[in-house]
Amino acid sequence: MLRNNEFRLYLALQLLIMAAALGAALLWLGWEAFWLVLAAIVLTCINFYGFTSWRYRELMRLSQYLRKIAAGGYALDIRDNREGELSILKNEIFKVTMRLSEQSEYLLRDKERMSEALSDISHQLKTPLTSMGVMLDLLKQRDLPPEKQGQFLAHLQQQLERMEWLITALLKISKLEAGTVLFQPEPVRMRDIVQQALQPLEIPIELKELSVQLAGDEQLYLNVDKKWTVEAILNIVKNAVEHTPAGGQIKLTMSQNSLYKELTIADSGPGIAKEDLPHLFKRFYRGSHASEASVGIGLAMSYSIMQAQNGKIEVSNGIAGGALFSLKWYAK
């Protein structure tokens, strides 16, 4: 305690006060008063020393606790239900410790997600790069027939386009998961968003001779970011086009109730395997019916876009067969 400057100053002042009190008692009241005041001072000093020693021990425990926290030990519990300033301090330190623990866990999970993402990206890019390397080695052959050169060059072009799409999609979903996308909501008619999402798919829809129906409330408006919402719907419809057999049907229905506005996308394909349903929106997950060209990123992107705009996606198998996706935007 004597190492504490404030305590030494307090002790010096207290000694001066005690000396003055003893001198006054002896001068004006006599020896009996002197011994009585001296006894009171001694008892007061003993009580003060005992109380101060206890406070120092408590503060030392808190200091050791803080050192353990600095070393990463967040599991200690020092909450105190008694009244008093030290109890309040203990409870406040415990609250801060819990916040630090939560932040530490979040950063750890974020680091793990980043590691997984880098591993997934590396794996997804490795296949087209390997294929392109093989094509380039073949093109170096001097006696390669012109028709083969054309085939290999077309294959290289195809792999480059796939890599470009993959990198663009990965950048988009990375921004979404990092929360760096600035959504710009505006009132826009749901029908207009759906029609814009269908435009890039007109050729594959025509090649497969699919019947696409758009039904429901045509005057339904959403307050969303148009560009990103088109991206979310496009990925869902693209998935339906890929899994619907030639001559099949895709139906999009727009509706609303007191809780949310909804767009359902139903196809006449084989549906989704039961074991795939819980994992369908995970990044790079490929279901049992996925095509070889699929990388499992479109549905994950749609899920992130909907979540960021106070919405959600649900998926199930329709009563008559086929997959049924439900996109819901909740009222704020």
Beta-carbon contacts of 197 under 8 Å, excluding residues fewer than 6 positions away, are: 230, 231, 233, 234, 237
| Domains (range + CATH), the chain | 5-101 (no CATH), 102-178 (1.10.287.130), 186-330 (3.30.565.10)
The answer to whether the beta carbons of residues 208 and 237 sit under 8 Å apart is no
The mean pLDDT value for 141-147 works out to 80
Which carries the bigger pLDDT value, residue 309 or residue 134? Answer: 309
Percent of the chain topping pLDDT 70: 81
Which carries the bigger pLDDT value, residue 33 or residue 321? Answer: 321
Percent of the chain topping pLDDT 90: 26
**Strand pairing of 260-267 and 249-256?**
antiparallel
Q: 3-class DSSP state for residue 314?
A: strand
The answer to whether the beta carbons of residues 297 and 238 sit under 8 Å apart is no
**Strand pairing of 221-224 and 249-256?**
unpaired
pLDDT at 318 over 70: yes
pLDDT tens readout for residues 224-259: 999 999 999 999 999 899 889 999 999 999 999 989
Instruction: Classify residue 237 by burial, with Cβ atoms within 10 Å: 0-12, 13-18, 19+.
Output: buried
Residue pointed to by tokens 């425990």: 61
How does DSSP assign 186-216, residue by residue?
A: EEEEHHHHHHHHHGGGHHHHHHTT-EEEEEE
